[in-house]
Structure 1
Amino acid sequence: MKALIVGGSGFVGGYLAQDLKKVGWSVAMTMLSSEKAPEGHDVYPLNILEQAQIADILRCLCPDVIFHLAAQSSVGLSWKNPALTVDVNIKGAVNLLEAVREIPDYQPRILLIGSGEEYGYVLPEEVPVSENIKVRPGNLYAATKVAQNLIGNIYAKAYGMPIVMVRAFNHIGAGQKTGFVVADFCKQVAEVEAGLREPVIQVGNLSARRDFTDVRDVVRAYRLLAEKGKSGETYNVGSGHAVGIDELLAQILSLSEAKIRVEVDAKRLRPIDIPVIEADIAKLKGHTGWKPEIPLRETLQWTLQFWRKNPEIFR
């Protein structure tokens, strides 16, 4: 199988490429020309807002499967730059689908990667959330991913395109940039241990509960959905278990011998925050046989070790 990862420079792209190559797929990826190309991968520069560029790459490579990972994925940044979020997450997805359509007799499988944030204001009786509940996005990033999902569904039905939609819940691991809760916490702990900051960790809302999955488990789910997912269907990808941010922080702090004080930073609080988001993953399990394999504590240890070795990254 030949795969193209659109937006391969992000946190997930490298892990997805590793997983695919491990099982014998050939892999190419795209990224912005300004981004640093990872070693050992076939990389093509691409601006997702330029449909002609997308079509040129597709004609050149003719991938069997396209994983659409290109996104503005930070909820915080979506509040600060909504126009960029709309352009990349909605216009970018349309450009990709239209680029595929303009190539005669070409029907690659396409995974459109969305987010568990799409569910938004989940009612207590709706937890864990299935793919069939009403989406009530609570932030601008989530709204753009809802739009992407709807567009993918329309294209699948109207044009018979083999498109599978994914709602991925929080995925974590080594190499994730700051701006995401586990990376933020682990980086701060590593900086305290290295003497780069005072023994204080800045946090936002600790009462929220979220569904966290190791990125290596997540990309394995993407591969299985590319192989076995049903066209026009949406699949949750998550652990199926919500964890309190306060519990998450406690586990990370327990992995360090440093004595660290916790302080709430008002700048880290979102204008709107959803109390509980947890995935119902029965559909994913039933259609692919996937299940999460890596324990949360192991993932947290792995992530903290990354920051201990790289405390200056993203400063």
Structure 2
Amino acid sequence: MKALITGVTGFVGQHLASYLKIRGYQVWGTTRNNSGEVNNIDGVNQVHVDFDNITSIVDMLNFIQPDHIYHLAGQSSVLESWSDKVGTFNSNISLTMNLLEAIVQCEIKEKVSVLTVGSSEEYGGFDTGNNPVSENTPLKPISPYGISKATVSMLVRHYHTVYNLKIIHTRPFNHIGPGQRLGFVVSDFSNQIAQIEKGKKRKVISVGNLSAQRDFTDVRDIVKAYYFLLNEKVDSAWGESVNVCSGKATSIQSILETLLSLADCSIEVTIDSNKMRPVDIPVFMGDNTKLIDLTGWKPIISLEQTLSDVLKFYRDKS
């Protein structure tokens, strides 16, 4: 079996590639490197493709002949989407549409299964009394990023309905794990602790709102959910969206306390008003019933283990 991962060098892409290799897949990934050659890096065949050129994508798909496509590439930052709306819409909407158009035109249209990755940001300003959030919750995205991902979910439904593509859209909630870059709460806390332990920073952590509760899942469990969705009999769900989440809410305060308990020194916590959001939903958690019913998937990595692994990752980097 062959799997193609767009965005294979990203945080989630690297974990997905590792998991698929363990499952015996021949893994391919797209790259922006314009060498014109196929490079095998850590067991992944990386090939250049111009996602602005549908013909280039068709040629790539006909060459690789993947059984599964995991479309992870795109602009993944909510914050950056505010400063670069056009770039966000281009990366997340236009290039996704080019990929889907290419699949319609290529030799593998009838056999390939496709998974696109959206976000819980698609739900946006939902009614906070409706926790946990199910796939039936009306979409009310409030960020350019959320709007772009909600549009992708509509494209998925369109390409399944009109062209009969075997395609499914996922809405992952907060996913965390080793390798995640800075700019996310667990990574930022872990990096500060690691810097303090190395004596590179004062024994003070600066934080924002700690009372907010979010739905956290280890990225290594997330990629298993993606795998299950393309390997189980989910014919009834083609063209639909599926939440990928733990179904539990954990406070940022609890996250911080666990990480501090793992630190090898005493650390003071200070509140930085600049890190407080004007609007912050108190509790945001997902309903994973649909995913479990479709695949039997359940998260197995504990939050404590995940936090320990992330802290180790940043300790090794310091």
**Separation of aligned partners in 2, 1:102 and 1:268:** 47
**Separation of aligned partners in 1, 2:280 and 2:142:** 7
Aligned pairs for 1:24-173 (under 5 A) are 24-33=24-33, 38-104=41-107, 106-107=109-110, 108-173=112-177
Gaps of 5+ in 2: none
CA 89–307 in structure 1, closer or farther in 2 if over 3 Å, else same: same
The answer to whether the Cα contact below 8 Å between 2:62 and 2:107 also exists between their aligned partners in 1 is: no
Shift of 1:136: 1.1
CA 186–273 in structure 1, closer or farther in 2 if over 3 Å, else same: same
- SS of 1:112 mapped into structure 2: strand
- SS of 2:239 mapped into structure 1: coil
Shift of 1:156: 0.8
**Separation of aligned partners in 1, 2:182 and 2:40:** 20
The answer to whether the Cα contact below 8 Å between 1:120 and 1:274 also exists between their aligned partners in 2 is: no
Q: Deviations over 1:45-78 (max 9, x none)?
A: 2343333332221111010110000011111111
The answer to whether the Cα contact below 8 Å between 2:54 and 2:101 also exists between their aligned partners in 1 is: yes
- SS of 1:48 mapped into structure 2: coil
The answer to whether the Cα contact below 8 Å between 2:29 and 2:44 also exists between their aligned partners in 1 is: yes
Residue 21 of structure 2 is matched in structure 1 by: 21
**Separation of aligned partners in 1, 2:40 and 2:202:** 35
CA 5–142 in structure 1, closer or farther in 2 if over 3 Å, else same: same
| Residues matched between the structures, number | 311
Q: Deviations over 1:8-55 (max 9, x none)?
A: 111011111111121222111112228x98532111123433333322
CA 81–211 in structure 1, closer or farther in 2 if over 3 Å, else same: same
Q: Which moved more, 1:134-143 or 1:300-309?
A: 134-143
The answer to whether the Cα contact below 8 Å between 1:27 and 1:41 also exists between their aligned partners in 2 is: yes
Q: Deviations over 1:226-265 (max 9, x none)?
A: 1123311211101110111121111111111322222334
Q: Which moved more, 1:2-11 or 1:247-256?
A: 247-256
- SS of 2:214 mapped into structure 1: strand
- SS of 2:284 mapped into structure 1: coil
**Separation of aligned partners in 2, 1:262 and 1:133:** 37
Q: What TM-score, normalized to structure 1? A: 0.93
| 1:290 corresponds to 2:297 | yes
| 1:206 corresponds to 2:213 | no
Gaps of 5+ in 1: none
CA 17–105 in structure 1, closer or farther in 2 if over 3 Å, else same: closer
Residue 260 of structure 2 is matched in structure 1 by: 253
The answer to whether the Cα contact below 8 Å between 1:212 and 1:243 also exists between their aligned partners in 2 is: yes
Shift of 1:267: 4.6
Q: Deviations over 1:200-241 (max 9, x none)?
A: 222233232111111111100000001123311211101110
CA 53–196 in structure 1, closer or farther in 2 if over 3 Å, else same: farther
The answer to whether the Cα contact below 8 Å between 1:49 and 1:87 also exists between their aligned partners in 2 is: no
Shift of 1:163: 0.7
* Counterpart amino acid of residue 8 in structure 1: V
The answer to whether the Cα contact below 8 Å between 2:109 and 2:165 also exists between their aligned partners in 1 is: no
CA 247–296 in structure 1, closer or farther in 2 if over 3 Å, else same: same
**Separation of aligned partners in 2, 1:37 and 1:26:** 11
**Separation of aligned partners in 2, 1:211 and 1:131:** 15
Q: Determine which of 279, 300, 313 is the counterpart of 2:307.
A: 300
Shift of 1:95: 0.9
| 1:181 corresponds to 2:188 | no
**Separation of aligned partners in 1, 2:134 and 2:188:** 29
The answer to whether the Cα contact below 8 Å between 1:172 and 1:214 also exists between their aligned partners in 2 is: yes
CA 62–104 in structure 1, closer or farther in 2 if over 3 Å, else same: closer
Q: What TM-score, normalized to structure 2? A: 0.92
The answer to whether the Cα contact below 8 Å between 2:128 and 2:281 also exists between their aligned partners in 1 is: no
| 1:243 corresponds to 2:247 | no
Shift of 1:273: 3.3
Shift of 1:105: 5.6
- SS of 2:99 mapped into structure 1: helix
**Separation of aligned partners in 1, 2:172 and 2:179:** 18
Shift of 1:269: 4.0
The answer to whether the Cα contact below 8 Å between 2:213 and 2:284 also exists between their aligned partners in 1 is: yes
- SS of 1:198 mapped into structure 2: coil
* Counterpart amino acid of residue 11 in structure 1: F
* Counterpart amino acid of residue 159 in structure 1: Y
